[in-house]
Amino acid sequence: MIVTVTMNPAIDKTVEIGHLIPGGLNRIHKVEYDAGGKGINVSKTIRELGGGSIATGFLAGNAGRTIESVLKDRGIQSDFVWVDGETRTNTKVLEDNGEVTELNEPGPEITPDQLDELLARLEGYAGDGVLFVLAGSIPSGISIDIYEKIIRLLHKKGAKVLLDADGCMFRQALDAGPDIIKPNRAELEEFMGIDYRASDRDLLKTARQLLGKGVDTVAVSMGKSGAMFVRDGYEVRCPALNVKAHSTVGAGDAMVAALAYSFDTKNGDENTTRICMAASAGAVTTIGTKPPARELVDELMEQVIIEKIGE
């Protein structure tokens, strides 16, 4: 079983324009609305891949009811804690050249009682064979060590955790030993404390160090440079697939979904690598934060090139 946790969901509003003119008039060519937030995006992609998950976290107001309805229509089970206020709307401005400007709202403030209710629900789902996906930002009222606390809570019940976070939340959560992590290159460079572009050797060295902290699998997404997958006895790098990109929004979430799906279906290392690369590449061809179709993922899996590294 997979449980995705989205503490700060959103309605993702993607507007397409020719060229963004700061301080001037911008005419919109097209608008797309999606139920979003990292964990929700992961649940949508898992569903498209043929798997299942339970989506949880916090929802509020009319936007929250819209998200709940979208998930239900997609056949995705949800179990959110309802709070006061309004779930945020995040606006992504996509230009013809592929550049994306994001305008993210803060979302509702969470009370200690509401957080306790969510933690109780997570603990109720936890057990052997259950994978929790902790992904994305946190709303006001919750401390940055929340992912660390959740990982320790879930590990006590025998569950596994896939973490997709950045900055202080990523750093603190590592102390609890998440089982799978998916940093991108920039997030790993920030963790390394460097102000230059890390080489593959640098990234591999850091990934190995993270394995030493109790992490089982490190997947590093590197944009146009592809991705790196590191676990004990398996160290590979894959060039990016050649697809017609519409927007890079959601590519990382699709890779997280593929990692979770592969864990749940007990995919081997090579198949996991292939589906991660294919799902991520497929996601950049879609509009907004919509998941790639399974048929496209299957097609792209055959094009994945896996190169051994570290020898």
Residue 51 vs residues 19, 118, 158, 256: alpha-carbon distances, Å? 38, 24, 22, 13
Q: Is 253 known to be catalytic?
A: yes
Which tokens go with 263?
């864990």
Residue 116, sorted as left (phi over 0), alpha (psi -120 to 50) or beta, turns out to be alpha
Bridge-based pairing state of the strands 227-231 and 234-238: antiparallel
- Residue 135 DSSP SS3: strand
User: Number of helices and strands (H, E) in the chain?
Assistant: 10, 15
Task: Out of 253, 264, 269, 298, pick the active-site residue.
Answer: 253
Read off φ and ψ for residue 51, nearest 5 degrees.
-100, -175
Tell me the chain's radius of gyration from C-alpha atoms. Answer: 19
Catalytic residue set: 253
